[in-house]
């Protein structure tokens, strides 16, 4: 009886240890953004520009694109570059990420 209990306890410990092991994958995933380094102002500009362009496409006449721009950040080079890229990428109302996700391996 003690041997049977020891086997059951060992199996329970083994199953718990295996279930908490990190998942193995075929290779690490990475996010590529091309060869350009983007900072957070560019990201914020892109995201808000894309959302604003999409909103205007769905609600024509609601506001102007320039009226939706963050006036505090307007004029900062990286924010403006991101804003321009985001409004251009999403002008048809479809939200597009600036990232391309690829799996390496």
Q: Please write the tens of the pLDDT for every residue from 29-46.
A: 544 544 455 678 898 999
Q: Is residue 14 part of a domain?
A: no
Counted domains in the chain: 1
Q: Is residue 13 part of a domain?
A: no
Q: Is residue 15 part of a domain?
A: no
Measured distance CA(14)–CA(16) in Å, rounded: 5
Q: Is residue 48 part of a domain?
A: yes
Measured distance CA(67)–CA(59) in Å, rounded: 14
Q: Which domain holds residue 69?
A: 29-103
**Residue 45 CB-density burial (10 A; 0-12 exposed, 13-18 middle, 19+ buried):** buried
Q: Is residue 68 part of a domain?
A: yes
Q: Is residue 9 part of a domain?
A: no
pLDDT digit string (tens) for 64-79? Answer: 888 889 899 999 999 9
The reply to whether the predicted model has a pTM over 0.75 is no
């Amino acid at each position: 009886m003690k041997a049977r209990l020891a086997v059951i306890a060992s199996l329970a410990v083994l199953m718990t240890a295996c279930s908490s092991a990190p998942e193995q994958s075929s290779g690490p995933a990475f996010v590529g953004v091309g060869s350009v380094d983007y900072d957070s102002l560019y990201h914020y500009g892109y995201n808000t520009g894309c959302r604003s362009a999409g909103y205007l496409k769905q609600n024509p006449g609601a506001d102007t694109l320039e009226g939706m721009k963050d006036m505090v950040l307007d004029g900062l080079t990286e924010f403006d570059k991101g804003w321009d890229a985001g409004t251009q990428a999403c002008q048809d109302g479809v939200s597009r990420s600036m990232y391309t996700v690829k799996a390496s391996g």
